Amino acid sequence: DTGVSQDPRHKITKRGQNVTFRCDPISEHNRLYWYRQTLGQGPEFLTYFQNEAQLEKSRLLSDRFSAERPKGSFSTLEIQRTEQGDSAMYLCASTQGRALHFGNGTRLTVT
Amino acid sequence: GEDVEQSLFLSVREGDSSVINCTYTDSSSTYLYWYKQEPGAGLQLLTYIFSNMDMKQDQRLTVLLNKKDKHLSLRIADTQTGDSAIYFCAAMYSGGGADGLTFGKGTHLIIQP
């Protein structure tokens, strides 16, 4: 299957720890997005890459969050000093046109 | 900014048609989408429509767009138990430079036997 792949599927961490998630987009998709989804809500935009360039960041993305896409292929999202409010599903999506294709997400639980 | 609204729940009998409605606020939205999410999973793209179209049909799915009223609907014909999921409406907007999607809160589709 050549869909969007995210790793890990689940992450449980203690408050204050750092976590990193990985997203492998569909190959040749030049645009990559990170979204966050909390319970009972739709996904909310976090950040966007065109190739390796990070072109947009939401106000939701505090200084504790950083995302990279160093070679224009896979991307990582790191959260430093996690807080309980960071508990959510983190979704990655990629596209080359208008159809955004999502991965299955990484569910983060901060205890 | 863009705001997308959906009703939270819809209950239908198996075999009937389901109609899920959505309204959006930004008239400059260029594309409108329907995604399906099953428990614990990511979002599956069902279909999308360009804003200069009124209707799009794909097998059991029919999307209707009323651009004047900023109203989008998804009709699922012959609803099956496998259609039970949360359905998200989303709008693509051009402002902000991200070309990202703004999602509604999702409609839980409940299938009665």
What are A16-42's pLDDT values in tens digits? 999 999 999 999 899 999 999 999 899
| Digit-coded pLDDT (tens) for A37-64 | 999 899 999 999 999 999 888 888 899 9
Contact B45 A48 (CB under 8 A): no
Instruction: Give me the mean pLDDT over the B30-44 stretch.
Output: 92
Residue B98 has pLDDT above 60, yes or no: no
The reply to whether A105 touches chain B by the CB within 8 Å rule is yes
Contact A42 B90 (CB under 8 A): yes
User: What pLDDT is stored for residue A82 in this prediction?
Assistant: 98
Please provide residue B76's backbone torsions phi and psi, each rounded to the nearest 5 degrees.
-110, 115
- Across chain A, mean pLDDT equals 94
User: What pLDDT is stored for residue B93 in this prediction?
Assistant: 74
- Across chain B, mean pLDDT equals 91
Cβ contact A28:A97 at 8 Å: no
The reply to whether B42 touches chain A by the CB within 8 Å rule is yes
Distance from CA of B108 to the nearest CA of A (A): 10
In angstroms, rounded to a whole number, what is the distance separating the alpha carbons of residues A91 and B4?
Answer: 19
Contacts with A41 from chain B: Cβ below 8 Å: 105-106
Distance from CA of A22 to the nearest CA of B (A): 15
Encode burial over B42-53: b for 16+ CB neighbours within 10 A, e otherwise. Answer: bbbbbbbbebee
Tell me the pLDDT band of B1, cut-offs 50, 70 and 90: low
Strand-pairing partners, residue A32, are A49, A94
